[in-house]
Amino acid sequence: MSNHDLTCKHKMARQNGIVQPLLTDLYQITMAYAYWKSGKVNDVAVFDLFFRNNPFQGEFTIFAGLEECLKFLQNFHYSDSDIEYLMQTLPGNIEPEFFAYLKDLTCKDIKLSAIEEGSVVFPRVPLLRVEGPLIIAQLLETTLLTLVNFASLMATNAARYRMVAGKNVSLLEFGLRRAQGPDGGLSASKYAYIGGFDGTSNVLAGKMFNIPVKGTHAHSFVTSFSTLDDIHSVILRHAETQEPCNLLDLATEWRNRVSSVIDISPEEASDGELAALISYAIAFPTGFLALVDTYDVKRYHFQGLSSRHRQHMNGHSGYNSNCGSNDTRQLKSPINSTYGYSTVERTLRSGLLNFCAVALALNDCGYRAVGIRIDSGDLAYLSVLARETFEQIAEAFKLPWFSKLTIVASNDINEDTILSLNEQGHKIDCFGIGTHLVTCQRQPALGCVYKLVEINGQPRIKLSQDVGKVTIPGHKEAYRLFGADGHALIDLLQRSSEPAPGVGQKVLCRHPFQESKRAYVIPSKVEHLYKVYWKDGRVCIQPKPLLEVRERVQSSLRTLRQDIKRNLNPTPYKVAVSDDLYNFIHDLWLQNAPIGELS
Ligand SMILES: Nc1ncnc2c1ncn2[C@@H]1O[C@H](COP(=O)(O)OP(=O)(O)OP(=O)(O)O)[C@@H](O)[C@H]1O
Ligand SMILES: O=P(O)(O)OC[C@H]1O[C@H](OP(=O)(O)OP(=O)(O)O)[C@H](O)[C@@H]1O
Ligand SMILES: O=C(O)c1cccnc1
Ligand SMILES: [Mg+2]
């Protein structure tokens, strides 16, 4: 095998085993038989795959899933057991020759044109154009839709999180446990990465798609330790000298020293937590990132105070209130109730005290700790508190790097939470995001459809009471026209027989259904959106590695004006048809709409 083959093989790496021809709706196969019975074996069709509305109340979508579509076409083949199953399942009158026909089917006569994966795309502009034998193109419908719909929705969701988080914050996908089953979880990890996440906690996704795998540890790890006696071994060898260091002794000594700096007594900090953090640090001296919010009021000192804790939080830190946690006056003098510090703060201070003690002990052994994760409470306020603590220690012990320790935040985070945290001011370096991201809780489906637009050279239009659902007929091309400032201005659909629009040439762009909406555009750049990815039974353009698709998402988003991308009331991007296509649609529409009779 040549190097080239090896590279291609690598790029078209494994596909989830459940993606196969029977991963479809029954009606595709029953239609295939009815087409076959009615002599349509040699009919040639064109289908468009497109969506009608952008998700998440936004005005853009990211196209993803193309690589998986290509793998599907490449592997399309009914196995013996598939045929056997269909013989048992379909009605008994199906002619055996149909099964023989199915058995030999491949996608060698299919041509697939597509927009580049990772591009920003818009309603009505087909993402895929599938041409070839009607029966085969029909059999591909459901699987192509399931491969594109969730992929594009997820990539869009992730890209939106990246936009609100900004480029200087890390984003980790933590969603597998909350995802829509194993396949939903796996796809979510892949497309969250494409959309701009930096890594995933999903190990299989890491292995299959070469995505960086990252993570911290869970509360169970901390709660599995009760006392200092639970530490199995206290010895860590110094990173350089290899001298044995007693991490427990060092951490205990540091805990006393740190406690005077951050004004919390070692007695208030949990020994079980210290034991857990020491044990974790010994296991991962170069990757010590610790969860610091385990011993909360409910499990530790102050049984039953959680509603009060919430009141304290609301009172001084700002979620559910307008009082942002960047109000340093309040941060420096936290609530002084009968209990002293607010309970959440006390929680964090126990964890922080223990974390700092272990981090400083590690430093004595030649290692630098990585940071902390906060998974409850007011994330803005607590991150500021943690950063202040790190800065105090950095100064007290002359360790400047300590002020730069990483602060990871998790706990039911969504786009709005990040926007709100930004407004309040926070010191979070990394968000770990699960549920809202991977389930696309804000909008769980994109609604891509697959419509027949031409059969044997004849255009097809599907009419609907709802104008927005009328399909744009015929074999078409799509162009993106750029304005003088370099931004994308409009997407233009034309009949394939028309000449492509030219740079510097005036083009009439029309709304597909509203006659009065039209504009002239003189593009400074024209991008033909379709390339042929599959033809003659082979992949014509190798899909790019995930990292490049991920970069493509960002570069494609940069071509959009800011007002189209903004979160609140974004401006719609325009999608138009040429004058020729406009007339073609409307002539066909009239031909297909019978004239009624009034009586
Ligand atoms: N500063 C903040 N601004 C806006 N939202 C926040 C802020 N801090 C945290 N949140 C969000 O508020 C919600 C708090 O969740 P919840 O009410 O379950 O609190 P919790 O701290 O997890 O409590 P518990 O530990 O009792 O489960 C989460 O969705 C979290 O992302
Ligand atoms: O909140 P999400 O956005 O869905 O992110 C994933 C959540 O999964 C973990 O919680 P879980 O309670 O399952 O385990 P833990 O003990 O590690 O917190 C993690 O701590 C996050 O809170
Ligand atoms: O590594 C983590 O911190 C993690 C992983 C999955 C879910 N929640 C957290
Ligand atoms: Mg959690």
For the stretch 278-296, pLDDT in tens is 999 999 999 999 999 887 4
Q: Supply the pLDDT for residue 17.
A: 82
Q: Supply the pLDDT for residue 599.
A: 80
Looking at the structure, do residues 65 and 135 belong to the same domain, yes or no? Answer: yes
Q: What is the CATH number of the domain that holds 145?
A: 3.20.140.10
Three-state DSSP at 146 gives helix
Domain count for the chain, please give it: 2
Q: Supply the pLDDT for residue 363.
A: 98
Residue 73, CA atoms < 13 Å, CB-side half-sphere: 28
Looking at the structure, do residues 253 and 395 belong to the same domain, yes or no? Answer: yes
State the CB neighbour count (10 A cutoff) for residue 587: 12
What domain range includes position 81? 3-159+443-592
Query: Which among 400, 428, 460 is the end of a domain?
Result: 400
Looking at the structure, do residues 149 and 244 belong to the same domain, yes or no? Answer: no
Top-confidence residue, 468 or 98: 98
Looking at the structure, do residues 120 and 267 belong to the same domain, yes or no? Answer: no
| Ligand 2 centre distance from Cα of residue 411 (Å) | 6
The answer to whether position 437 is within a domain reads no
Q: Supply the pLDDT for residue 570.
A: 98
State the CB neighbour count (10 A cutoff) for residue 81: 9
| Ligand 1 centre distance from Cα of residue 294 (Å) | 15
Q: What is the mean pLDDT of residues 120-127?
A: 98
Q: What is the mean pLDDT of residues 377-387?
A: 94
Query: Which among 349, 370, 400 is the end of a domain?
Result: 400
Q: What is the mean pLDDT of residues 33-54?
A: 98
| Ligand 4 centre distance from Cα of residue 410 (Å) | 7
Which atom of ligand 2 is least distant from the CA of 219?
16
Residue matched to tokens 């991977």: 438
- What is the reported pTM? 0.92
Looking at the structure, do residues 264 and 380 belong to the same domain, yes or no? Answer: yes
- Does residue 230 register a pLDDT over 80? yes
Neighbours of ion ligand 4 (CB under 5 A): 375
516-553 tens-digit pLDDT: 999 999 999 999 999 999 999 999 999 999 999 999 99
253-268 tens-digit pLDDT: 999 999 988 878 888 8
Top-confidence residue, 315 or 589: 589
Separation of CA 425 from chain center: 25
Angle, helices 134-165/26-37, rounded to nearest 10 degrees: 150
Q: Supply the pLDDT for residue 346.
A: 61
The answer to whether position 522 is within a domain reads yes
Looking at the structure, do residues 389 and 447 belong to the same domain, yes or no? Answer: no
Query: Which among 365, 400, 435 is the end of a domain?
Result: 400
The answer to whether position 185 is within a domain reads no
Which atom of ligand 1 is least distant from the CA of 426?
1
Highest mean pLDDT among 4-8, 139-143, 297-301: 139-143
Q: Supply the pLDDT for residue 342.
A: 62
Confidence of residue 431 (pLDDT cuts 50, 70, 90): very high
Contact 409, 432 (CB under 8 A): yes
441-492 tens-digit pLDDT: 999 999 999 999 999 999 999 888 888 888 999 999 999 999 999 999 999 9
ipTM (interface pTM): 0.97
Looking at the structure, do residues 152 and 281 belong to the same domain, yes or no? Answer: no
The answer to whether position 192 is within a domain reads no
Looking at the structure, do residues 285 and 349 belong to the same domain, yes or no? Answer: yes
Top-confidence residue, 546 or 11: 546
Residue matched to tokens 């001084």: 316
Q: What is the mean pLDDT of residues 244-254?
A: 98
* Stretch (H or E) spanning 455: strand 449-455
What distance separates the 2 farthest-apart alpha carbons in the chain? 101
Is the CB of residue 178 below 6 angstroms from any atom belonging to ligand 2? yes
Looking at the structure, do residues 255 and 375 belong to the same domain, yes or no? Answer: yes
Question: How high does pLDDT run on average in the chain?
Answer: 90
Looking at the structure, do residues 255 and 377 belong to the same domain, yes or no? Answer: yes
Q: Supply the pLDDT for residue 321.
A: 34
The answer to whether position 418 is within a domain reads no
Name the residue type at position 584: F
Q: Supply the pLDDT for residue 12.
A: 64
301-330 tens-digit pLDDT: 333 333 323 333 333 343 333 333 333 323
Q: Supply the pLDDT for residue 15.
A: 75
How far is it, in rounded angstroms, from Cα 164 to Cα 423?
11
Looking at the structure, do residues 8 and 138 belong to the same domain, yes or no? Answer: yes
Confidence of residue 580 (pLDDT cuts 50, 70, 90): very high
Looking at the structure, do residues 392 and 249 belong to the same domain, yes or no? Answer: yes
How far is it, in rounded angstroms, from Cα 75 to Cα 147?
14
Name the residue type at position 501: P
Name the residue type at position 371: G
Q: What is the mean pLDDT of residues 498-521?
A: 97
The answer to whether position 421 is within a domain reads no
Confidence of residue 208 (pLDDT cuts 50, 70, 90): very high
The answer to whether position 188 is within a domain reads no
| Ligand 3 centre distance from Cα of residue 174 (Å) | 5
Top-confidence residue, 337 or 511: 511
| Ligand 3 pocket mutation pick from 170, 174, 433 by most atoms within 8 angstroms of CB | 174
Q: Supply the pLDDT for residue 262.
A: 84
- Does residue 435 register a pLDDT over 60? yes
